[in-house]
Amino acid sequence: MQTYSFELFPNRGLIHIFLFSEVKNSLELRKRLLSHDAELSYAFINARVILDIFQLLIATNCALHNEKCSILKTHNINSEIVYNLSPNTNINEALRRFGISDDSTNIVVVKVGGEANEIKSHLTSLIQGTETSLENLFKFGDLGIIKKYYKVDNKIHDVKEILNIIVGSMAVKSVS
Amino acid sequence: MTENAILIKQGAEARVYTAPFLTKKAIIKERFGKAYRHPILDKKLTARRITQEARSLFKCYKSGVDTPVLYFVDMENSKIYMEFIEGKVVKDLILENKEIKKDQLAEKIGIAIARMHSVDVIHGDLTTSNLLLRDSNKSLVVIDFGLSYVSSLPEDKAVDLYVLERTFLSTHPNFENMFAEILEAYAKNYKASKEILAKFADVRLRGRKRNMVG
Ligand SMILES: Nc1ncnc2c1ncn2[C@@H]1O[C@H](COP(=O)(O)OP(=O)(O)O)[C@@H](O)[C@H]1O
Ligand SMILES: [Mg+2]
């Protein structure tokens, strides 16, 4: 787990990010998410579309901004985080591509606010999987899918450059 | 604004700050209106500038022009968050005239403009104050896209070049040959440059005539 404070939203508490691998109950989790189960107040993200933690921070920052300005495009802060990972404005597509699917085995969880240990024990009871260090994040990213979703030119191989394009395409969405 | 923001430039239409942002050091560019303009028109104009700046920054970066990475656009507060470039302003580098390789610098500038124009981005304020050189890898970075727009017209691209030439004439009068080298690199690296350079000669001529009259 890693914890971050967001400069622009000091009153919103800390942001906690978890990584789970070998997850076995994604199907169940997704069903509960679809039925708006209040116990699952987290952003559940498919780890294969994540290249770097900064990508998650940018999406979360954008979601917090939309919440503060009352311009959420989706129904809550959690779906807004998932939505903001996408470079496109199509909400269904964003949730399908960046949220978890029935067969996801590696999952990133973002939680805005709350106390780290409580969140951790709650997540461990919800998710049938192994919590692992976020340093392993890059192992679960699928560069081919990531480049496709963010429309990164195939000629570009430098990971830093790919990340910069990902971040830019998320940021430019608000003026597209 | 975040508490730790430091104002580094107060301009006529924008304030530029540095501030920590999500584990990085960022530049925050805040646009503000002009008191004499009609408030609604003014708001629209500010919004358009921010939109243009954000779009062009991203479009150029994607097309292989080194620009600051776009982090976040806060339309509600008229702010753009972007990568802070550790580097030096090209204007200062030339004015100091110390240990810089002028021919290499000119080539980098020419290539950057060629790439930018090849994706039809017109910068709109191409001066040596809006070009930086990264400390780390000496890459040339183009900044300040607030007056940029999209156009495929050779005339618009020619005017972009002309603005830069005027900067050399007024700010760096002893470095006119450097501008010639920039043009040379531009021509070499941009297939469609022939027509633009012909237009550039026209624009230049018109400029001279105007100067003689006025
Ligand atoms: N991304 C950046 N990284 C580092 N310095 C920057 C960056 N953006 C702007 N600056 C500094 O701030 C100055 C003003 O920024 P600029 O975008 O050119 O605004 P203005 O419209 O006021 O000219 C630049 O000349 C440069 O010194
Ligand atoms: Mg400037």
> A3 is written with which tokens?
């914890």
Q: What is the pLDDT of residues B146-185, one digit of tens each?
A: 999 999 999 999 999 999 999 999 999 988 899 999 999 9
Q: For residue B117, give the CATH number of its domain.
A: 1.10.510.10
Establish if B28 touches chain A: CB-CB under 8 angstroms: no
Mapped onto helix, strand or coil, the DSSP state of residue A112 is strand
The SS3 call for residue A45 is strand
Going by C-alpha positions, the residue among B60, B119, B70, B129 that lies closest to residue B95 is: B129
Which structural domain range is residue B97 located in?
Answer: 87-213
Judge if pTM exceeds 0.90: yes
End position of a domain, from candidates B83, B105, B123: B83
Do B159 and B76 share a structural domain?
Answer: no
Q: What is the DSSP letter of B71?
A: E
Are residues B72 and B101 located together in one domain of the fold?
no
- Return the residue in A3, A4, A6, A8 with the most chain B beta carbons within 10 A, the one to mutate for interface testing: A8
- Are both B138 and B180 inside the same structural domain? yes
What rounded mean pLDDT belongs to chain B?
93
Inside any domain, residue B1: no
Last residue of a domain, one of B83, B106, B136: B83
- B19–chain A Cβ distance below 8 A for any pair: yes
Report the number of distinct structural domains present in chain B.
2
Of the candidates A136, A143, A77, the one whose C-alpha atom is nearest the C-alpha of residue A110 is A77
| CA of B29, closest atom in ligand 1 | 17
Whole-angstrom distance, CA of residue B108 vs CA of residue B101: 11
Does B104 share its domain with B185? yes
* Matching CATH number, A2-175, of 3.60.21.10, 3.40.190.10, 3.30.2380.10, 3.50.50.60: 3.30.2380.10
pLDDT at position A103, please?
A: 96
Q: Which of A164-173, B91-100, B174-183, B196-205 has the lowest mean pLDDT?
A: B91-100
